[in-house]
Structure 1
């Protein structure tokens, strides 16, 4: 039960003698007591101060007890406050009306002190249980929001929503997407020279910058594998300009690395590969699941990175054809790609400047 030392009670009665009687009796029982001479004053106090219980008279000038109850229970911020009506009106209609308006209990005047104490204790116990329930629900909501944020950090929002609605396999075919792989050249050589904490901190700083670029350009990060970074455009929500957005991200990644290398630390170099075409995307696994991509487009994008040039952005002919009107390229020529043979590739250099009149 709510302890008297922590419970605060508001006595609302237009009769000063009644207010004084209730105040002195409650204070002797250890409650903190405030008084109001009418309904308006009661609502003012409730807005300014936190109460655990209201002892409310019905017949009062300006604003009667019925109106106070209606006002309290219509306000979502105050309808939790228990109200014990103490009134000289002892007819059944008055009792029913008060209960229907949201009163916790009803006690006729002149009240029995023992019964009053028992009713107050019961009201405070109900409030304590409701407060505990509210606190539990609030904590439950906070934990649910944490879980939601964690899920969204692992999966794209549309995929996370589908996964929550349906436990069946999620696999989609996308006819047109752009895939980018990036790798930090020579990063593994650092393992023997710096601590694991420093190594992870460097990777986190670089990849966090890439994450921000992906968000800025409306692209979807898929995963990191060691010091490699993978991002896709055009899914899970189709995006018409995914190839253009991906090319701009690749250029911005180079700038981000140049900015990163301005510090006193050892400079890093990056190799980027990009391809455009159809892919299959879906969620694999039930434990530690991941949203991943499959298909020839993905494999070739990976080869564009691994067969690429340090500090260069190598793209396939498909990507070049899509972007040649908006970006500047240098033809690299034909290179041997594992599993594909000879392929014509290009190096993305910059975005073309808009012509001014």
Structure 2
């Protein structure tokens, strides 16, 4: 027997340091997260305040950023960490992505030196939690239509509006809020204890249940002038942060798929049907072979994109290609695995349907599959089909 990693010899493409980072995250996930994840999912909760400092000690929060207490690891190493976290649950990887690739990256890319010094060390340590407020109730795929506004009032800014589907929103200490001004879209750092700022946790979810999701309301939230992210200039600023988060998804979604496939292979080897193991049937092996092939191809593409990113040669179209491929193939694998587990596949005794439910969200957040198809279509044809 071989694993998918062995089948495609992907370890041979990693440095010793990258393998060590991957294995360290996998060991932490197995010890600290995996024993509890089914219960967290069933209860619709995640102990972010408790887990974040532990992730910080491992250097996983903003791990691809330089300075300010951040680990400064390679993009590929960050991707491998995301893969191991999402092999446990998409909600765990989402928490890390929002903290590091969205909130911390926004401050690191567009903040003043004073803002970086004030916020980033605590966020890297997991002592301070951040969220990223871009999506609104009526504007998901079209963030440029946002209605949240920031108006000047003397030296202050006053923000009004709402944001929706905000991971970490109700447990965050600081929210990166994107708002329309008279000139352009700008980013603001909003301490969550600011009067007029409220966060309501969103319940009744059937996906990403082991993740904190909130709706944010801003009602005459008054901020000092230095709350503005000074280098944020237009919609391109939050979109640059989204590209960082999408990169983590390229690896992360494949971690969920791998966990489904591993659990299913083990199940089929021990489950007897008509007096022999389910794994010994040709149709079962055909399904497993096809899933292993797509998983292996996805991992090779992810590693290639990681290398391009480490050389600062990756484009937005390549990130879109990776995100589209990983999420689309991962959810197919999860659904196919469920068929092999039969009725057992719908229970939390196995991770498969939990991953499939989570991947329904991963498929559509940070750009739906259709959005990424149009990104690729524009790159291939030169024609913009977004409007």
Q: TM-score range by the shorter chain?
A: under 0.3
Name the structure where helix makes up a greater proportion of residues: 2
Which of these two proteins has the greater Rg computed from alpha carbons?
Answer: 1
